Amino acid sequence: QSVLTQPPSVSGAPGQRVTISCTGSSSNIGAGYDVHWYQQLPGTAPKVLIYSNNNRPSGVPDRFSGSRSGTSASLAITGLQAEDEADYYCQSYDNSLSGYVFGAGTKVTVL
């Protein structure tokens, strides 16, 4: 059971906007620790999509954006495309566990 809670799945039609929530607590996101997001396409290694809450690495389309507020964070995908169908994970640090934590992942399905 992860300390970061994500919805198991979200779906949307091509072109739509979807959001994925990542809910933590006062010992991780609420303590001010960065949230990072990873995309894992089927059969491949994860790839960083957003780092430090709202920063995109070079090469990541601006359709992807991140935000953090209080004890939660969100990843938004606008203009959903078929190639966005993947699993998405949030990651942060937890000071009560003294360790790095991942969410349980959210599967995005493009209808």
Partner 1 sequence: QITLKESGPTLVKPTQTLTLTCTFSGFSLSTIGVGVGWIRQPPGKALEWLALIFWDDDKRYSPSLKSRLTISKDTSKNQVVLTMTNMDPVDTATYYCAHSTYGSQNYYFDYWGQGTLVAVSS
Q: Look at residue 8 and give its three-state secondary structure.
A: coil
Which listed residue (42, 82, 83, 99) binds partner 1 by CB under 8 A?
A: 99
Q: What is the distance between the alpha carbons of residues 84 and 106, in angstroms, rounded to a whole number?
A: 12
Residues 10-69 that bind partner 1 (CB under 8 A): 32-34, 36, 38, 40, 45-48, 51-53, 55, 57
Q: Tell me which residue of 18, 20, 13, 16 sits closest to 35, measured CA to CA.
A: 20
Q: Look at residue 30 and give its three-state secondary structure.
A: helix
Task: Determine if 75 is a binding residue for partner 1 (CB under 8 A).
Answer: no
Q: Are 70 and 90 in contact (CB under 8 A)?
A: no
Least distance to partner 1, CB of residue 78, Å = 23
Which of these ranges, 16-24, 59-67, 76-84, 97-105, lies near partner 1 under the rule CB under 8 A?
Answer: 97-105
Residue type, 61: P
Interface positions with partner 1 (CB under 8 A): 2, 32-34, 36, 38, 40, 45-48, 51-53, 55, 57, 89, 91-93, 97-105
